Amino acid sequence: MRHALLVVSLVWIMGWAWSAEATQSNDMQRNDPRLNQGPKPIAEGNSAMVSTQLPIVTETALAVLERGGNAVDAMITATFLQHVVDYHQVSHFGTMSGIYYEADTGEYHVISGVGARPLAGRCGEGDPSRVSIGGVVRAMGALADRWGTLEWSEYLQPAIQAATEGVEMSSFMYGINYNLMQTGDSGGLIDNPEARDFYMPDGFLVPVGERWQMPALAAHLTALAEQGPDYMYEGEWAEKFVDAARAKGHCVAPEDLAEYEVQWQEPVRFSYNGHSMVGSAPPDTGGAFVGLSLNMLQHFDLADRPHYSESAETLEIMARVFGRASEETRRMINDPLAMQVPTDIWMSDAYGQMAADIVKASMRQPGVSLSAPSDDGEEEAMTLGSDHNVIVDEQGNWFSVLHTGHGGAPGVLVDGVRATGSTARAFTQGPGRRLVLPITALMIEKDGKPWLAMGTPGMPPQPVTQVLTNILDWDMHPAEAASVPRFWAWLGNEPGIRIESRISDEVRQGIRESGLPLSDLGPYYWSTGSMQIVWRDEETGRLYGVSDPRRLGWPAGY
């Protein structure tokens, strides 16, 4: 039975009051972990736990739970709020994918609101290759219909209030906005008068420290609250989007929006040294990548080796495993509605052993010292703009979700909604036209129930795998596991390692002798992700949450 949640707006106002008070002290701004990079506290709670990308989002989601809402209610509210307060990271016409554990049935559900290409040829002339029908709002509607307990309009109230009152401009948000509007990286937004008015209401970008009011977005969210999710797929906004996209030469038809369907799927299941896990399903690449990587790594007995940040040999093994997993999955993961995906083969014991043997047989010869120049080549583009949220409610429901951009068409902004399309790989013919993205929602289960849930924005598969090995092989506390140095391996077509600089000269030299290029990412490189982790103590059942020090995430529980 649906019930009112009248106090959420009050909590939201209190949150903004805290923000305004915090900004009065420059010293507090410099030292407050809620406003800066740096170590975050470990949250504890007996009943519920939330870990999201921003403190105000965590506080608002927690308020939903405290007033009787469930994990789905809190997740929907958090997602819409992030569309405003994290405007530079996510898109209201973007993509989402997540894993939901339903306590009443003991079942895991994957919900895929991943953006999908228009059907080529449906609209005549025009290019569909960068257009994506963003599924996040229709997915929120599907979740609300299936498990939600609030009225639809209630989910949007904190977002509407935030857009109306304004979002405090951080230096991080300003930098991204500057890049979007001044360099043209947003696919032509600088040529869009509506976008210029939205981003630069007085002819300039809103300065750092001032409030960025978004009246156009507030009006759009109000219409969405009143008319429901179909407003963006069959209503006035859908009509405006089709007209704007076609005016810029893109191929999209009204039927493409109206026919978009959220997909319910089974998660990818795999095990690692006796630990049972569930992960994102294709076309997300994360579940298959993590499962395949761990399937190989369990044949190297990492627990008996020094940590990868302290051993060149361990680091090389993991880098070569990630390289093979990248090559294996890069082109073989597609929308399963159109193409088969060999997930079961990748997760099989025999394949894991064979692939591990291939990695072992491709290492340098014993006693040989090679040298590799520093890698000064171009870095493969990373998908940085996204938010990952993990929420656990009093009923024992768990939700791990990533939502991001990848919806719309280049150069399009309609009613305050940035909908600039996607260059991600996807088909434009056939029934399965969803984008292939590295989304990596993941849960570890014990006794058939979630024990730990995690995820990160950025390019998640490799960082998530590293944090898992930190916890499961090297017995690190999740907070430490999220903080220790992370690395990228085999980005693009060339082998090599990019790693945070908190490693020894001995490790650096050892990697160079292996023949792999090594480059430095600095002490804490924010684009290696921002882990949001929630877990329960097996003995007491008490919940804990942590957030990565690299960004502004925040955990809280009760």
> pLDDT, tens digit, for every residue of 61-75?
999 999 999 999 999
Confidence of residue 30 (pLDDT cuts 50, 70, 90): low
CATH number at 340 reads 1.10.246.130
Phi/psi of residue 265, nearest 5 degrees: -135, 165
Q: Map tokens 């399965």 to a residue.
A: 432
Answer whether 278's CB lies under 8 Å from 291's CB.
Answer: no
Are 425 and 449 members of one domain?
A: no
How high is the pLDDT of residue 141?
A: 98
pLDDT at 383 over 70: no
More confident residue, 373 or 292: 292
* Gyration radius from the chain CA atoms: 23
Nearest-angstrom CA–CA distance, 427 and 334: 9
DSSP calls for 192-212: -HHHHHHH-TTSSPPPTTSEE
Are 336 and 478 members of one domain?
A: yes
Confidence of residue 519 (pLDDT cuts 50, 70, 90): very high
More confident residue, 378 or 554: 554
Cα-to-chain-centroid distance, residue 397: 20
Q: Tell me if 546 is assigned to some domain.
A: yes
**Minimum mean pLDDT range among 26-40, 97-111, 334-348:** 26-40
Query: Residue 49: in which H helix or E strand, if any?
Result: strand 49-52
Q: Tell me if 20 is assigned to some domain.
A: no
pLDDT at 27 over 50: no
Are 236 and 315 members of one domain?
A: no
Separation in Å, CA 289 to CA 144, 204, 292, 465: 30, 43, 5, 9
- The string of pLDDT tens digits covering residues 317-347 is 999 999 999 999 988 999 999 999 999 999 9
How high is the pLDDT of residue 430?
A: 93
How high is the pLDDT of residue 33?
A: 64
Q: How many domains does the chain have?
A: 2
Q: Tell me if 378 is assigned to some domain.
A: no
How high is the pLDDT of residue 307?
A: 98
What one-letter code names the amino acid at 356? A
256 three-state secondary structure: helix
How high is the pLDDT of residue 374?
A: 47
What integer is the mean pLDDT of 519-523? 94
Are 150 and 228 members of one domain?
A: yes
Judged by phi (left if over 0) then psi (alpha if -120 to 50, else beta), residue 480 lies in alpha
Are 479 and 534 members of one domain?
A: yes
- The string of pLDDT tens digits covering residues 291-307 is 999 999 999 999 999 99
Q: Which residue range is the domain that position 245 belongs to? A: 8-12+37-101+112-264+386-433
Q: Tell me if 85 is assigned to some domain.
A: yes
What are the structure tokens assigned to 283, written together? 């076309």
How high is the pLDDT of residue 29?
A: 56
- The string of pLDDT tens digits covering residues 411-435 is 999 999 999 999 999 999 999 999 9
Are 295 and 252 members of one domain?
A: no
Nearest-angstrom CA–CA distance, 153 and 509: 58
Taken as a whole, the chain contains a residue count of: 558
Are 275 and 254 members of one domain?
A: no
Q: Tell me if 539 is assigned to some domain.
A: yes
Q: Tell me if 29 is assigned to some domain.
A: no
Confidence of residue 35 (pLDDT cuts 50, 70, 90): low
Are 177 and 259 members of one domain?
A: yes
Q: Tell me if 372 is assigned to some domain.
A: no
Nearest-angstrom CA–CA distance, 143 and 400: 13
What are the structure tokens assigned to 394, written together? 């009093």
Start-end of H helices in 361-428: none
Query: Among 554, 558, 546, which Cα is nearest to 453's?
Result: 546
Are 216 and 313 members of one domain?
A: no
- The string of pLDDT tens digits covering residues 146-155 is 999 999 999 9
pLDDT at 553 over 50: yes
Q: What angle do CA 186, 190, 193 make, to 5 degrees?
A: 125
How high is the pLDDT of residue 458?
A: 87
Are 236 and 204 members of one domain?
A: yes
Q: Tell me if 157 is assigned to some domain.
A: yes
Nearest-angstrom CA–CA distance, 126 and 306: 55
Q: Which residues contact 239 (CB under 8 A, 6 or more apart)?
A: 254
Confidence of residue 492 (pLDDT cuts 50, 70, 90): low
Q: Map tokens 């805290």 to a residue.
A: 18
Answer whether 449's CB lies under 8 Å from 377's CB.
Answer: no
Query: Among 441, 449, 413, 415, which Cα is nearest to 543's?
Result: 449
CA dihedral 427, 431, 435, 437 (to 10 degrees): -110
Confidence of residue 373 (pLDDT cuts 50, 70, 90): low
pLDDT at 26 over 70: no
Answer whether 449's CB lies under 8 Å from 106's CB.
Answer: yes
Final residue of a structural domain among 433, 458, 489:
433
Are 283 and 416 members of one domain?
A: no
What's the whole-model pTM score? 0.92
CB crowding 313-352: b at 16 or more within 10 Å, else e: bbbbbbbbbbbbbbebbeebbbbbbeeebebeebbeeebb
More confident residue, 86 or 382: 86
What integer is the mean pLDDT of 157-170? 96
What are the structure tokens assigned to 486, written together? 């992370």
DSSP calls for 140-193: HHHHHHHH--S-HHHHHHHHHHHHHH-EE--HHHHHHHHHHHHH-TTTSGGG-H
What are the structure tokens assigned to 117, written together? 């290409």
Compute the mean pLDDT over every residue in the chain, rounded to the nearest whole number. Answer: 90
pLDDT at 437 over 60: yes
Are 139 and 229 members of one domain?
A: yes
Separation in Å, CA 224 to CA 308, 408, 524: 48, 17, 39
- The string of pLDDT tens digits covering residues 210-219 is 999 999 999 9
How high is the pLDDT of residue 170?
A: 85
Q: Map tokens 């170590």 to a residue.
A: 39
List 522's β-bridge partners, or say none.
none
